[in-house]
């Protein structure tokens, strides 16, 4: 794979289980030695990075340690001591939406609240770059959308974010660009809107008739809609205009890549 992630962007790495997402991220985090090639993260080879480099990077793994007998405030304050330029622990707790739980022991937190605590530990050192490995796995829809708001806040503050996810709506909502991994190869990199020529792919225009639903594939959907509007004398019953979704493009790419 050949990949550049730009400073200040949110980049999502997509791919099926076993495609190489976590392996790639672990190499970039310095947790795993690569077998060949070159890697540079914040100008440093992560395989030989020192403590000064680690001060600049935040990591939220798929699963982290358990701190059942400690309160949220105790955990965040403890981790803040590892960093020379740590953020205010109480401000971070507020920022991740755990202010009302600061005195609660972590064993009573919900899954979504524990994930917010994971993020608090990932950003307590004011990282320039934040790795998020499948950050919302197991979240219910409401908790996932709340978490998206937190990621948007971090990105707006200038944090570069590299995340892996299985949720295509998550990538579409959060990422400036996405990369698709299939069988260990990077098969495409683009914005969610342009990936796989989504923006220029043929559209499908659908409408209702007395005999049932009709559809027409076209490169000029506006012209088709204008023709139908004239045919129906204005309002077109059951009108839909759709282009390939990110999921459609993604499934096609990983099928070709494998």
Contact criterion met (CB below 8 Å) for 163 and 137: no
Per-residue pLDDT, 139: 76
Task: Give the mean pLDDT of 105-116.
Answer: 87
Identify the DSSP state of 165. Answer: -
Structure confidence at residue 207 as a pLDDT band (50, 70, 90): very high
Q: Mark whether 163 and 223 lie in a shared domain.
A: no
153: containing domain: 10-195
Per-residue pLDDT, 65: 67
* Cα–Cα nearest to 237, from 211, 217, 209: 209
Q: Does residue 2 lie within any of the structural domains?
A: no
Average pLDDT score, the chain: 89
Contact criterion met (CB below 8 Å) for 178 and 195: yes
What's the domain count of the chain? 2
Task: Give the mean pLDDT of 169-191.
Answer: 92
Q: Does residue 23 lie within any of the structural domains?
A: yes
Task: Give the mean pLDDT of 180-200.
Answer: 86
Q: Mark whether 29 and 155 lie in a shared domain.
A: yes
Q: Which of 11-25, 67-81, 223-237, 241-255 has the lowest mean pLDDT?
A: 241-255
Q: What is the pTM of this model?
A: 0.81
């Amino acid at each position: 794979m050949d990949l550049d992630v730009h400073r200040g962007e949110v980049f999502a790495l997509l791919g099926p289980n076993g495609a190489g997402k976590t392996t790639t991220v672990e190499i970039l985090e310095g947790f795993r030695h690569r077998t060949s090639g070159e890697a540079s993260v914040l100008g440093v080879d992560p395989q030989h990075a020192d403590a000064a480099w680690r001060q600049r990077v935040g990591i939220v793994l798929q699963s982290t340690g358990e701190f059942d007998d400690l309160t949220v405030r105790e955990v965040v304050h403890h981790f803040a001591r590892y960093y020379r330029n740590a953020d205010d622990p109480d401000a971070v707790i507020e920022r991740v939406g755990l202010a009302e739980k600061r005195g609660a022991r972590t064993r009573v937190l919900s899954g979504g609240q524990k994930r917010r605590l994971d993020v608090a530990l990932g950003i307590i050192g004011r990282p320039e770059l934040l790795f998020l490995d499948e950050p919302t796995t197991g979240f219910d829809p409401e908790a996932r959308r709340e978490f998206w708001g937190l990621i948007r806040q971090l990105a707006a503050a200038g944090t570069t974010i590299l995340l892996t996810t299985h949720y295509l709506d998550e990538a579409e909502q959060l990422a400036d660009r996405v990369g698709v991994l299939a069988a260990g190869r990077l098969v495409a990199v683009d914005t969610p809107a342009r990936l796989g020529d989504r923006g220029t792919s043929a559209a499908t225009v659908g409408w209702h008739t007395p005999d049932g639903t009709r559809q027409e594939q076209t490169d000029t959907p506006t012209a088709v809609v204008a023709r139908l509007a004239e045919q129906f004398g204005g309002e077109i019953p059951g009108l839909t205009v759709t282009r390939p979704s990110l999921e459609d493009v993604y499934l096609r790419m990983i099928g070709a890549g494998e």
